[in-house]
Amino acid sequence: MATQPKFVNSFWTRDFTSTEGFDVLHQRMKDSKAFTDDVNKFLRERAAIEETYARNLIKLAKNAAGGSETGSLRTTWDKVKEETTAMGMEHQNLAAQILSQVEKPIKDLREAQRLLRKKLEETLKKAQKDKAKRFNDNEKAKKLYESKCREAERAEEEANKSAALPQKEIDKLKAKARKAKAAAANADTAYHEAETCCNYFQEMEEERIDLTRRKLWILTNLVASTCVADDDRLEAMRQSLERCDVSGDIQHFISNHRVGTDRPETYVTVLYDYKAQGELELSLKAGEKLKLIEKENDTWWRGEKNGKEGVFPAQFVKLG
């Protein structure tokens, strides 16, 4: 199985003066910081939305009217308000959990990485101050290191072969060897500092991506749990609605508020005289009043006159 590429092996160039590798990694770290800031902003705003929604739900339930209702519908209405309040509290808890379990750990990691990244960059710049004071080309540092090592070996060999030379020449050759070794050591330091920074940068990125993924996973679980809790509240409302009895509420209202069954009597005034055409009819005289019992149809009405019930033509009377 092929080894996966790593930062330490992927950002080298042959140009001694190039900072391309450092620039790419540096931009990546800046982009990572910006992305983390965006995620934290999203989480804070999501928590604020949940908090506002929660407060509004609780306020809505508290200020809801409808106290004059009676019977099973009143019981159901009280249940709706109760569960709405509970839903508000669930979302209030969700807002707090988003901040404490998701947003804060990501923010803490961002701050810790900011300090470490700054320290690493300062260390690297210091180690490469003699190389244009920038994050220099690491591959060139490696080549320089190898070159200086070979030069140090040659100088050492020359010093060892020159034992017959005057002491002054021998000293010059040994000084040259020490200088070459020091140059090789400096190149070696810069090379390994660059490697160390690459390794740290990759570790920081791996930690950031993993933590962000895990915390966003927690966010989805928190929201899902709140949705389940909301559905439980809604189910309690549905069950209460199922127990709402329309007929029972009507009878409950009548039983508790009835005032009587006798309706006020209605009278009509006779407009024209009319002589009954049979025993079932009443004779009418213009101007008199009689009690109206029933409007049988548009043509004949039933009424009472002098204790006798009968029908009469509707066109011969007016109400009142």
Q: How many domains does the chain have?
A: 2
Residue 210 placed within a domain: yes
Q: What is the pLDDT along the chain (320 residues), one digit of tens a residue?
A: 678 999 888 888 776 556 677 788 888 988 999 999 999 999 999 999 999 999 999 999 999 998 899 999 999 999 999 999 999 999 999 999 999 999 999 999 999 988 888 887 777 666 555 555 444 444 454 455 556 556 666 666 665 655 444 566 545 555 555 555 555 455 555 667 778 888 988 999 999 999 999 999 999 999 999 999 999 999 999 999 999 999 999 999 999 989 988 888 899 999 999 999 999 999 999 999 999 999 989 999 999 999 999 999 999 999 98
pTM recorded for the entire structure? 0.67
Residues 207 and 275 in one domain: no
| CATH number of the domain enclosing 185 | 1.20.1270.60
**Does residue 288 fall inside a structural domain?**
yes
Are 90 and 213 in a shared domain?
yes
Residues 237 and 280 in one domain: no
**3-state secondary structure string, 225-243?**
HHHHHHHHHHHHHHHHHHC
Q: What is the pLDDT of residue 144?
A: 54
Q: What is the pLDDT of residue 24?
A: 87
Q: Do both 188 and 299 map to the same domain?
A: no
| Domain, as residue range, for 104 | 7-251
Q: Is residue 242 in a domain?
A: yes
